[in-house]
């Protein structure tokens, strides 16, 4: 819900909303949820024929707070505020933008830290494993509730891009444009391996206590810190780390101890520790699993072109040269499959030094391309 825009280019103060789905909701795993809540935000106005709705799907550690601020003194805007707002690449003067926190999340949607009404305790490790497909089905329920039959566009980066692809497969006639940024049709063994180290860091932390850590006695802070430190390395490129930190020493000299001596060490520790203060470890585990599992071609003998044969959306794929976590080659696999089936697709490989994180950056060519495609 958008209130007065307090400055040019910002959606201003926004208030999160909550969608309640009361029916039993079946998951890919075979498990069910007795209903769920999705926290979401919207920016811009839905037009009369409800044809200007644009869904943003968030990435691993993201949430529904994409743009604007929650209060006049909020120190930080939403995670994609540089892209979403009046006159911006995702122009809220034209679009009614929606983003929901993924099911299993820890920012207001039903997830492991939510109290299970059956037990009056947080779900914890009993929260079922959710998949990209489950997310898309839950978002479709939200679309129904909002009266949005067809999205003008669905946009997402990283695992957000996977949700875009899944939407186009599961609901081919419910989106007109599909924008996948720095994404992949499935992750590689190396990606799974990094996710597994992150998971093991959490699972092996004594504070994890088999996922029961909501009583306040313990928390897998160390494990979550390590998981995030590791993740962070893979979001950045070798080049940008060289430019940003090089071998700079914090105190200008070696200390010959295990303190944070190099700038990069201190940066990573800070990133990891800050993250561990506000993210739920069970949610982190779930999100990495959803990432590992995503593989729409698997049920078609690994033929991606068969998996996407019924898609109707007009696709834009964007990849970044220095992204080694979701390299351009992975986007190109999707482009190839779409071309093979005569689908509409535009592809751009953008020169950018910032690795996977480029998808959040102010890169002119990238922004202009996105804006032009959506216009």
Told to judge if 323 belongs to the known catalytic residues of this protein, a careful annotator would answer: yes
In the bound state with its own copies, the residue whose beta carbon lies nearer, of 26 and 87, is 26
Separation of alpha carbons 341 and 349, rounded Å: 21
β-bridge mates for residue 231, sequence order: none
Interface residue with its own copies, options 295, 312, 333, 340 (CB under 8 A): 295
* Options 46, 176, 265, 333; binder of its own copies; rule CB under 8 A: 265
Indicate whether 33 belongs to the interface with its own copies (CB under 8 A).
no
Does position 190 bind its own copies by CB under 8 A?
A: yes
| Candidates 112-120, 162-170, 234-242, 310-318; binding stretch for its own copies (CB under 8 A) | 234-242
Q: Does residue 303 belong to the site contacting its own copies (CB under 8 A)?
A: no
SS3 content of the chain, % helix, strand, coil (to 5): 40, 20, 45
Q: Which is nearer to its own copies, 53 or 201 (CB)?
A: 201
Q: Please give the C-alpha separations between residue 69 and each of 58, 166, 244, 353, in angstroms, as whole numbers.
A: 17, 30, 28, 29
Cα 109 to Cα 99: distance, rounded to the nearest angstrom: 12
List the one residue from 72, 75, 206, 252 that touches its own copies (CB under 8 A): 206
Q: Which of 61, 80, 355, 79 shows the shortest CA–CA distance to 233?
A: 355
Residues in the chain: 375
302 is catalytic: no
From 323, 327, 331, 357, active-site residue? 323
Stretch that binds its own copies, among 99-107, 116-124, 146-154, 188-196 (CB under 8 A): 188-196
What is the SS3 string spanning 39-77?
A: EEEEECCCCCCCCCEEEEECCCCCCCCCCCECCCCCCCC
Q: Which residues of 153-171 are buried (b: 16+ CB within 10 A; e: fewer)?
A: bbbbbbbbbbbbbbbbbbb
Instruction: Write the DSSP string, 311-368.
Output: --SEEEEEEETT-SSS-HHHHHHHHHHHHHTT--EEEEEE--SSGGGGGGS--HHHHH
Sign of CA dihedral 317, 318, 323, 329: positive
Binding residue (CB under 8 A) for its own copies from 41, 81, 133, 205: 205
Cβ nearer to its own copies, comparing 2 with 237: 237
CA-based nearest residue to 182, from 234, 143, 130: 234
Helix axes 221-235, 263-278, angle to 10 degrees: 120
Segment (H or E) for 121: strand 121-122
Q: Is 158 a catalytic residue?
A: yes
- 368 is an interface residue for its own copies by CB under 8 A: no
Judged by beta carbon, residue 48 or residue 258, the one nearer its own copies is: 258
Q: Does 321 bind its own copies (CB under 8 A)?
A: no
Does residue 209 belong to the site contacting its own copies (CB under 8 A)? no
DSSP structure class, residue 242: H
Nearer to its own copies, 193 or 372 (CB): 193
Chosen residue from 247, 251, 301, 375 binding its own copies by CB under 8 A: 247
Stretch that binds its own copies, among 60-68, 70-78, 176-184, 263-271 (CB under 8 A): 263-271
226 binding its own copies? (CB under 8 A)? yes
Q: In angstroms, what is the minimal distance from the CB of 174 to its own copies?
A: 26
- Encoded tokens for 209: 């206590």
Summarize as ranges the residues that interact with its own copies (CB under 8 A): 29-31, 128-129, 186, 188-190, 192-194, 196-197, 199-201, 203-206, 222, 225-226, 229-230, 233, 236, 238, 241-242, 244-247, 254, 256-258, 260-262, 264-265, 268-269, 272, 285, 289, 292-293, 295, 298, 324
Residues serving a catalytic function are 158, 323, 356
């Amino acid at each position: 819900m958008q209130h007065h825009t307090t400055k040019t280019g910002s959606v201003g103060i926004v208030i999160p909303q909550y969608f309640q789905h009361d029916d039993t909701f079946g998951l890919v795993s075979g498990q069910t949820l007795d209903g769920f809540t999705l926290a979401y935000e919207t920016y811009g106005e839905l037009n009369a024929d409800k044809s200007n709705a644009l869904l943003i799907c968030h990435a691993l550690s993201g949430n529904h707070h994409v743009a604007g601020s929650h209060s006049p003194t909020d120190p930080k805007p939403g995670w994609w505020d540089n892209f979403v707002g009046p006159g911006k690449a995702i122009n809220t003067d034209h679009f009614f933008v929606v983003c929901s926190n993924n099911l299993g999340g820890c920012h207001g949607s039903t997830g492991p830290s939510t109290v299970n009404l059956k037990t009056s305790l947080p779900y914890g490790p009993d929260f079922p494993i959710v998949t990209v497909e489950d997310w898309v089905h839950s978002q479709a329920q939200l679309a129904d509730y909002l009266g949005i039959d067809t999205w003008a566009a669905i946009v997402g980066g990283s695992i957000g891009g996977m949700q875009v692809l899944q939407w186009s497969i599961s609901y081919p006639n419910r989106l007109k444009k599909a924008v996948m940024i720095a994404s992949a049709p499935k992750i590689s063994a190396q990606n799974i391996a990094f996710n597994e180290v992150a998971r093991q860091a959490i699972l092996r932390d004594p504070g994890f206590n088999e996922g029961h850590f909501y009583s306040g006695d313990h928390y897998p802070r160390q494990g979550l810190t390590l998981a995030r430190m590791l993740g962070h390395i893979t979001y950045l490129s070798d080049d940008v780390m060289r430019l940003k930190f090089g071998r700079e020493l914090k105190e200008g000299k070696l200390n010959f101890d295990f303190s944070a001596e190099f700038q990069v060490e201190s940066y990573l520790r800070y990133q990891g520790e800050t993250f561990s203060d506000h993210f739920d470890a069970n949610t982190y585990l779930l999100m990495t699993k959803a990432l590992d599992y995503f593989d729409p071609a698997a049920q078609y003998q690994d033929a991606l072109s068969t998996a996407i044969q019924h898609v109707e959306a007009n696709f834009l794929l964007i990849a970044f040269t220095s992204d080694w976590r979701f390299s351009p080659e992975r986007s190109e696999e999707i482009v190839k499959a779409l071309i093979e089936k005569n689908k509409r697709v535009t592809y751009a490989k953008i020169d950018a030094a910032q690795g996977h994180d480029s998808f959040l950056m102010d890169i002119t060519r990238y922004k202009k391309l996105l804006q032009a495609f959506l216009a």
